[in-house]
């Protein structure tokens, strides 16, 4: 890699992938990372004793050929999703970190656009891209999981028309979230003592950051694909409700008001325009 390329990669966040047990999903994620992430980007595959022999072999093959500056760690025994991510994020210090679910598939330009958004929004603590299984950041319909057959390149081109759009979210979402390292440190990091699952711990972190005056925003010019939403561990919803009594009402209000509907429509229109008119089947 050239010195200019190395400098550019150093300005990008660390990509942290908490490895899961689904080898096929992990394979697709690593392929998408390889295809759509700048060479030399720092990538950390952090395994909380989740990958089986096939998954570990898959990771070893990918590490041997990747263009990325990648590393893999594996714990001998699992400590749990939230605790493992808290440990990994603490090890990153004040670096900006993009936590990417192990079954998520980024699209072209994703990391560069997210990094640019964090720079353009100095009070943003978290940036979350669109996702077809993205809860409050879901497209085409809020809060729904919608299988998409669209090409990653088409999604990326359509999202480019939403550059400079960073509307607020009630909290970051776990399919992919860019965390500002300084804000994370100021908020005391991830509370793994109270929460077992990453999605619940991320909601708690988002609300603590908001309480400190930081913002949780949607990066409307980025799309990440996924087949399912993250699972919240039993007991975590009750812990969230106890700590944040207004959280459920806030989510319900978001679902009813759908403040992102105009941006969703603009993205749909951009995809329709790119597809062009349907051919006349009877010509």
**HEC sequence for 58-106:** HHHHHHHHCCCEEEEEECCCCCCHHHHHHHHHHHCCCCCEEEECCCEEE
- Whether the pLDDT of residue 4 is over 50: the answer is no
Buried-exposed string 265-279: b where 16+ CB fall within 10 A, e elsewhere: ebbeebbeeeeeeee
Evaluate if residue 170 carries a pLDDT over 90.
yes
Structure confidence by residue, pLDDT tens digits, 137-156: 999 999 999 999 999 999 99
Cα separation, 204 vs 188, whole angstroms: 11
pLDDT of residue 10: 56
Residue 279 has pLDDT above 90, yes or no: no
Quote the pLDDT of residue 3: 46
CATH assignment, 3-274: 3.90.550.10
Q: Which pLDDT does position 1 carry in this prediction?
A: 54
Give the Cα separation of 159 and 175 in Å (integer). 17
Predicted local distance difference test score (pLDDT) of residue 275 = 75
The per-residue pLDDT for 95 is 97
Q: What is the DSSP string of 10-65?
A: HHSPEEEEEE-S-HHHHHHHHHHHHHHS-TT-EEEEEESS---HHHHHHHHHHHHH
pTM: 0.94
What percentage of the chain carries pLDDT values higher than 70? 94
Task: Find the angle CA(9)-CA(13)-CA(15) to the nearest 5 degrees.
Answer: 100
DSSP conformation letters of 121-170: -TTEEEEEEEETT-GGGBSSSTT--------HHHHHHHHHTTTT---B-S
Instruction: Give the mean pLDDT of 72-100.
Output: 97
Domain boundaries, the chain: 3-274
Average pLDDT over residues 205-228: 97
């Amino acid at each position: 890699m050239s010195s200019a390329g190395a400098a550019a990669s150093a300005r990008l966040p660390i990509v942290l992938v908490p490895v899961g047990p689904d080898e096929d999903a992990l394979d697709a994620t690593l392929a998408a990372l390889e295809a759509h992430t700048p060479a030399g980007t720092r990538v950390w595959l952090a395994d909380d004793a989740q990958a089986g022999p096939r998954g570990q072999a898959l990771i070893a093959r990918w590490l041997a050929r990747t263009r990325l500056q990648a590393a893999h760690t594996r714990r001998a025994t699992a400590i749990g999703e939230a605790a493992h991510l808290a440990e990994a994020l603490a090890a990153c210090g004040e670096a900006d970190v993009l936590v990417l679910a192990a079954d998520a598939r980024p699209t072209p330009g994703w990391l560069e656009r997210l990094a640019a958004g964090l720079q353009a929004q100095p009070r943003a603590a978290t940036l979350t891209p669109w996702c077809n299984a993205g809860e409050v950041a879901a497209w085409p319909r809020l809060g729904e999981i919608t299988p998409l057959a669209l090409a990653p390149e088409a999604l990326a081109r359509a999202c480019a028309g939403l550059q400079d759009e960073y509307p607020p979210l009630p909290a970051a979402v776990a399919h992919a979230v860019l965390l500002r390292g300084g804000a994370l440190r100021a908020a005391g990091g991830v509370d793994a003592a109270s929460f077992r699952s990453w999605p619940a711990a991320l909601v708690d972190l988002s609300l603590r950051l908001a309480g400190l005056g930081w913002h949780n925003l949607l990066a409307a010019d980025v799309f990440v694909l996924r087949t399912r939403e993250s699972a919240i561990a039993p007991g975590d919803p009750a812990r969230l409700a106890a700590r944040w009594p207004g959280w459920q009402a806030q989510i319900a209000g978001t679902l009813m008001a759908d403040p992102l509907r105009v941006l969703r429509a603009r993205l749909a229109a951009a995809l329709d325009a790119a597809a062009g008119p349907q051919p006349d089947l009877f010509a």
